[in-house]
Amino acid sequence: MLVLVAPGQGAQTPGFLTPWLDLPGVEDRLRALSAAVDLDLVHYGTDADADEIRDTAVAQPLLVAAGLVSAAALGEVTPGAVAGHSVGEITAAVFAGVLDDTAALTLVRKRGLAMAAAAAITKTGMSALLGGDPDTTVAHLEKLGLTPANVNGAGQIVAAGTLEQLAALEADKPEGVRRVVALKVAGAFHTRHMAPAVDTLAKAAQELTPGDPTVTYVSNKDGQAVATGAEVLERLVGQVANPVRWDLCMETFKELGVTALLEVCPGGTLTGLAKRALPGVKTLALKTPDDLDAARELIAEHANA
């Protein structure tokens, strides 16, 4: 059984879409998506620097577009399940037939702008903590006023809060935590700091007509499969101000009997977590078109298993 997954913010790097533009139709598709949201995705995926693509309002549409064009390059894929991390949930909604490309890009553009505006109110950020006991880590974060915004499993929790709180964390790591790594994001996503974005996103979601998932759609909220498009949208709205439970998503993958995990471009983050948390599950990250042949082999072996 194959699960198709999409990464979240912070996975982007300067120029990561450049090799994909050599494939027939990719640039045309990106330009069409750019026109739909009035954002030059080709520029941001090829020529823009790290600071430009760290901007939440840019990064989120860019990541969704990258996931869509890289998945399309695979050809026909029918996974047993789909999921995405944070903004990757919108990419996964397209994979599941809940949204079409244009609706997804329109929604994520509004999401990115709303979250960027919320992030501008207070200087905030996120840092990944590697190692340590989850319960001990969460208690320590709460003591510092931080939120465990991403509980990713495989020994990784992402803390979010003000820059002062994150500085205090650097100076006072939880027992057992090996490293604290600042993430390439521009705000404390999936925390109370994003509450102003929820109403904006709810209004944007009301303008959409979602389809029901055609494959199992696993939600960040609690790792549960969601049966209706309306509930998928409802969860996408609420998730911007609530923690991502990727650990529970991976537990659901186990329960579903997933045998392979394929991460769309810019892949790497979720496959890394899966290698540690899902032993025995084959993993592959789509980083460049050079990975397509291996991905197709994985699909042929596991998509109908």
Task: Tell me the catalytic residues.
Answer: 86, 190
Distance CA 167, CA 161 (A): 10
Distance CA 134, CA 221 (A): 18
Distance CA 71, CA 75 (A): 7
Distance CA 174, CA 186 (A): 24
Tokens 């020994």 sit on residue: 155
What is the CB neighbour count within 10 angstroms for residue 154? 15
- Residues 260, 285, 255, CA angle at the centre, nearest 5°? 30
Length of the chain: 305
Amino acid symbol at 127 = S
Per-residue CA distances from 225 to 37, 152, 205, 251, 276 (Å): 30, 18, 20, 12, 23
Residue 161 phi, psi (nearest 5): 170, -160
Distance CA 181, CA 155 (A): 13
Residue 86 phi, psi (nearest 5): 60, -120
Amino acid symbol at 255 = E
Q: Does residue 75 contact residue 296 with C-beta atoms inside 8 Å?
A: yes
The closest alpha carbon to 252, from 133, 11, 78, 80, belongs to 80
Which DSSP category does 181 fall into? Answer: E
Q: Does residue 130 contact residue 117 with C-beta atoms inside 8 Å?
A: no
